[in-house]
Amino acid sequence: MVVSIRSQLGHFNIGNRVNLVVQRKIEPTAGDLNALMERVEEIADLFRTQPLAGFPSARCTEVKNEPVYALEHLDELRQFTSVLTLTFRVWR
């Protein structure tokens, strides 16, 4: 958790990072990969644009998707795995 105090603005800026994992067993074809990568991007866009339900003062300030998917999971497990790292800030 990252905490910084901005006394000149009179509020706290509290940040939390959350890893959201998208996984699915697939046949590793280009069509399957493209569809799942699009779905991950849709999820990321929702967090970028929508406040959290039940916590309207929280905003997603950063979304990372590195790597886009885990190649070793495709090769070894026939599984699509993608990790979104979301950073939320709450101003009080």
Domain spans of the chain, in order of start: 2-91
pLDDT of residue 58: 85
Q: Is 40 left (phi over 0), alpha (psi -120 to 50) or beta?
A: alpha
pTM: 0.76
Q: 66 — phi, psi (to 5°)?
A: -130, 120
Three-state secondary structure call for residue 90: strand
Instruction: Identify the band that residue 4 occupies on the pLDDT scale cut at 50, 70 and 90.
Output: very low
Q: For residue 66, what are the contacts with CB-CB under 8 A and spacing of at least 6?
A: 83, 85
12-52, pLDDT tens digit by residue?
456 788 899 999 999 878 888 999 999 999 999 999 988 88
Candidates 2, 1, 4, 38; CA nearest to 22 is 38
